[in-house]
Amino acid sequence: MKKLIVVALAVVALFASCSSDDSVKVTEEKLAKKWYYKSDQANGNTYPYEHMSCAKDYIQFLADGSYLEYYITTCTPLNFGTSTGNWVLDGNTVTVSIDGDINSGKITSISDTALQISVVYDYDGDGDEETVKVNFTSN
């Protein structure tokens, strides 16, 4: 549960990147959909996202500028949590605001079915920030 919250907050809070790859063309239309967590890449390793068996956690960028995070905490009984806010796209940078917390990240890859956001935060809890690529799928 703690890692899930950290990842969910990280996706929002993680949106700070040092990359300046402006070759990725991101449009609001392409970004505005439901994105399921797939994996994280950090410290030279890929870590698959572990969904609960009953449903998948996701983030959703809505066309009206609204943002939603949905995460399962238990399957039996079904328990879930949500966070809502707003999002804005400026070039490759997406900025998300939830409850007054404003965070930005660099979209490094996007297609109809895959999204990758590069962010910087203390992924492993060692006190040092790492560059993390958070991978999503739309299916």
Which residue bears the tokens 């967590």? 37
Task: Give bridge partners of residue 106 from the DSSP assignment.
Answer: 93, 118
Q: State the total domains in the chain.
A: 1
Question: Cβ(25)–Cβ(89) under 8 Å?
Answer: no
Q: What is the CATH number of the domain that holds 14?
A: 2.40.128.280
Range of the domain at 62: 2-137
pTM: 0.82
Cα 74 to the center of its chain, rounded Å: 21
Concatenating the DSSP letter of every residue in 43-103 gives TTEEEE----SS---EEEE-TTSEEEEEEEEETTTTEEEEEEEEEEEETTEEEEEETTEEE
pLDDT at 22: 58
pLDDT at 19: 44
pLDDT in tens, 95-138: 999 999 988 899 999 999 999 999 998 999 999 999 999 999 99
Task: Give bridge partners of residue 45 from the DSSP assignment.
Answer: 42
